[in-house]
A and B are shown apart, each in its own frame.
With several copies, the nearest count.
Chain A
């Protein structure tokens, strides 16, 4: 299978879908000649022209609102929000409008749209350009929240997201754009709402998203050498969350650690832990369930501080070891 980057995987999903379905168009800031702040749509303007690679003024609220409006009347917009932090300018349109239209109107409308947005720190972009806000989105009924960690997942999940009849928030990670992975040439889709066991293991279940998946896998490799077998689950879709896969795993391992870059307090790890706490897996727990997450601070600019703000491999390793050594 050819190796392509995460950014290329996203671009190829968009391009293929735009070739297949003329209702699909890309909508956002600097997505044309510039190719988007991270070059994800680079080159698409040449193929699809300015009407389908529709560049907008700086108006995030109207971008999301207009995407919803277009979706209500038969289009399938892919809106790009340049940094996830800016979805905060469009929360009204996302939460009060896109997410609720169908329900408020008694099931008669639908809003098939995707909002792509890069999250995460690690690029020195400081407090207003580095947030991981997926935990806000999972609290909103009516939308789906997707969050791929590999090129393969990115492509398959984006195809599903574009074809989904609901508003889908598709969260990318800046540090992943240049990472490579195998992606088949043939079309494939990954259904939304299905977690992926990225590594099997019997000693502890780690649920992680985004950039934390590969970090955890590295640590898992290392610990594997010592005979500590870490099962790594990437939920891929955070809403709806595939609780069953996690339950199954925890029943096997008896231990759960949830890792995310997003701030700890109020983060989605709480959702996972609460789901397990009231699930049949609870009885199988051999240790307290724990969270390892971003500190409860805005992301600092300085490189060392930025590094310290979110879980790194060392932190992950230490946390896993601590849990493994607990017995209760």
Chain B
């Protein structure tokens, strides 16, 4: 019964000419690579901090999915609205969030974006129109509909982007939100990061028909289904989707195939997937791929690439230092912020 629609893919051949087609200059590629490295280091650091007992709670790391975050982030305007879910660190970094305040939030500090109330699963930067990560799978979807509706009613030029996983698409709210968005032509970009699993559930065991993106068809919504580990393809697709949405033609749906390297969260024993599968995906690593491409294309040298990676790590270490030196929230303020 399952028909897999053709997955869009590209190769690294002609990287330079593809860049040109996309009006991307060298600096932009270098910047994107740097941001991807920063995300990777943020996630690794988060894992280490947890192992060292410096954070409690749980967290959902996006290492392996950096091309989606960065390819998307690069196409958005800074005042576009943004909503995502539990696996959200990468998107925020790609949307230029302050990693110090992110790390501080992750460590529950008063200098964090949410003054330590939210933690990893609820980072938001309301002032920057980053309306927050959601701990409820699918929880951001109908909020996005409301934001889209408000933008339409206020005749604003911004769009709203909502990112969610392959698991979220089976929640009822997904359906209600897709229908409303399409019905009213709302300026919403739906981005589904299909990392193959919802926790331990493989997408094929959870979804009656694949690809997920074809569901958009049922609402008459435009859709794309792409290799999410291919930075240029993500950029290209998102740019087109963002333009379509911004020009008032209604919502667009993009599904990106990708993979997470870490376990789902801290409770994961990783029994539901094989080392082989993980290794196979690691061979498709989005950072390695873009790094090789820009080095091969002569945009930067291998040494410079290594330097950039190290700078990213240093920035993350500085963020940890910032966070560690930040005060805890005052316990006497625990009852604040419930009501406006």
Contact at B117–A106, with CB atoms within 8 Å? yes
Contact at A102–B339, with CB atoms within 8 Å? yes
Say which one of A198-206, A227-235, A253-261, A294-302 lies at the interface with B.
Answer: A294-302
Contact at B139–A300, with CB atoms within 8 Å? no
Contact at B116–A305, with CB atoms within 8 Å? yes
For B124, the chain A residues whose CB sits under 8 A away are 104-105, 108-109
Contact at A33–B339, with CB atoms within 8 Å? no
Question: Known contacts A96-B139, A142-B339; is A61 also within 8 Å of B176 by CB?
Answer: yes
Contact at A123–B56, with CB atoms within 8 Å? yes
Asked if A245 is at the interface of the complex by the 8 Å CB criterion, the answer is no
Asked if B115 is at the interface of the complex by the 8 Å CB criterion, the answer is yes
Interface string of A56-97 (1 = CB under 8 A from B): 111111101111111111110100000001100100110011
For A305, the chain B residues whose CB sits under 8 A away are 108, 116-117, 329, 331, 334
Asked if A274 is at the interface of the complex by the 8 Å CB criterion, the answer is no
Interface string of B143-187 (1 = CB under 8 A from A): 111111111011000000000000110111100110110010000
Q: Which of B122, B167, B205 has the most CB of A within 10 A?
A: B122
Interface string of B97-131 (1 = CB under 8 A from A): 00000000000110011111111011010110001
Contact at B116–A58, with CB atoms within 8 Å? no
Asked if A34 is at the interface of the complex by the 8 Å CB criterion, the answer is yes
Q: Which residues in window 326-340 of B have CB below 8 A to A?
A: 328-329, 331, 334-340
* Closest Cβ–Cβ distance, residue B230 to chain A (whole Å): 27
* Closest Cβ–Cβ distance, residue B103 to chain A (whole Å): 14
For A110, the chain B residues whose CB sits under 8 A away are 340
Asked if A125 is at the interface of the complex by the 8 Å CB criterion, the answer is yes
Contact at A66–B145, with CB atoms within 8 Å? yes
Asked if A226 is at the interface of the complex by the 8 Å CB criterion, the answer is no
Contact at B136–A97, with CB atoms within 8 Å? yes
Q: Which residue of A lies closest to B173 (CB)?
A: A61
Question: Known contacts A34-B200, A109-B131, A126-B57; is A58 also within 8 Å of B171 by CB?
Answer: yes
Say which one of A24-32, A150-158, A213-221, A318-326 lies at the interface with B.
Answer: A24-32
* Closest Cβ–Cβ distance, residue A51 to chain B (whole Å): 6
Asked if A284 is at the interface of the complex by the 8 Å CB criterion, the answer is no
Secondary structure type dominating chain A contacts: loop
Question: Known contacts A57-B179, A58-B137, A65-B143; is A297 also within 8 Å of B150 by CB?
Answer: no
Contact at A304–B329, with CB atoms within 8 Å? yes
Question: Known contacts A58-B206, A302-B108; is A68 also within 8 Å of B122 by CB?
Answer: no
Asked if B201 is at the interface of the complex by the 8 Å CB criterion, the answer is yes
Contact at B146–A300, with CB atoms within 8 Å? no
Interface string of B305-340 (1 = CB under 8 A from A): 000000000000000000000001101001111111
Contact at B150–A127, with CB atoms within 8 Å? no
Q: Which of B170, B179, B334 has the most CB of A within 10 A?
A: B334
Partner of B146, one of A37, A65, A92, A108: A65
For A172, the chain B residues whose CB sits under 8 A away are none
What are the nearest 10 A-B pairs in CB distance?
Answer: A69-B146, A65-B142, A124-B57, A301-B119, A124-B56, A106-B115, A107-B337, A66-B146, A62-B176, A69-B143
**Interface residues, chain A, CB within 8 Å of chain B?**
25, 29-30, 32-35, 37-39, 51, 54-62, 64-75, 77, 85-86, 89, 92-93, 96-97, 101-112, 123-129, 141-142, 144, 165-166, 295-298, 300-305, 308-309
